[in-house]
Amino acid sequence: MKSVYFIHKCIVFLLFLVAFILQILPWPQDIYFLKPSWVYLIFSSLAIIFPEKINIGTGFTLGIILDLFIGLKFGVQTLSLSILAYLIFLKLEYFQKFSLLKQTYLIVYLLLIIKLIMIAYIYLINSVILKISFFGNILVDAIMWPWIFSLIKRIFIFFKIIKKY
């Protein structure tokens, strides 16, 4: 039992490490608006699969680390990931009952809310001009969500941490 718990912790740590590495990789300026929100996608996948282990505190901690890595105003990612965790836990029963396609719609809706909160937060701190390209990565996230969620679920099934359902 202890080895399964240790393997679970190692897999979650490695998934978040990969998410941070992918998040801070540089992209060309022309297509930067299409960069997926790796940390948000992997965090939401893990929060749906393991709601008792990945919680709002995890989102807060990941947000602080992400703020430090990206260099945005301190607290933007922290607030966003905490609110995302809260919204996921608020609608957790829907996520567990819905098909993958409906989960994708719900995740896109939640990520859109998070983007709007980020815009409001950044706008309050300093005036920014809103561009439509700011929402470009939500479409990429919608395409990536089913793939990432299924991949993470299969990883945990492979290591016999969750049962196939």
Domains of the chain, each with CATH number or no CATH:
2-158 (1.10.1760)
pLDDT 10s digits, 111-125:
999 998 888 887 887
Q: Which amino acid is at 74?
A: F
CA 73 to CA 131: how far, in whole Å? 19
CA 81 to CA 95: how far, in whole Å? 18
Question: What is the pTM assigned to this prediction?
Answer: 0.92
For residue 9, the model assigns a pLDDT of 93
For residue 14, is pLDDT > 90?
Answer: yes
- Do residues 40 and 81 make contact, with C-beta atoms less than 8 angstroms apart? yes
The percent of the chain in helix, strand and coil, each rounded to the nearest 5, is: 80, 0, 20
Q: Which amino acid is at 19?
A: A
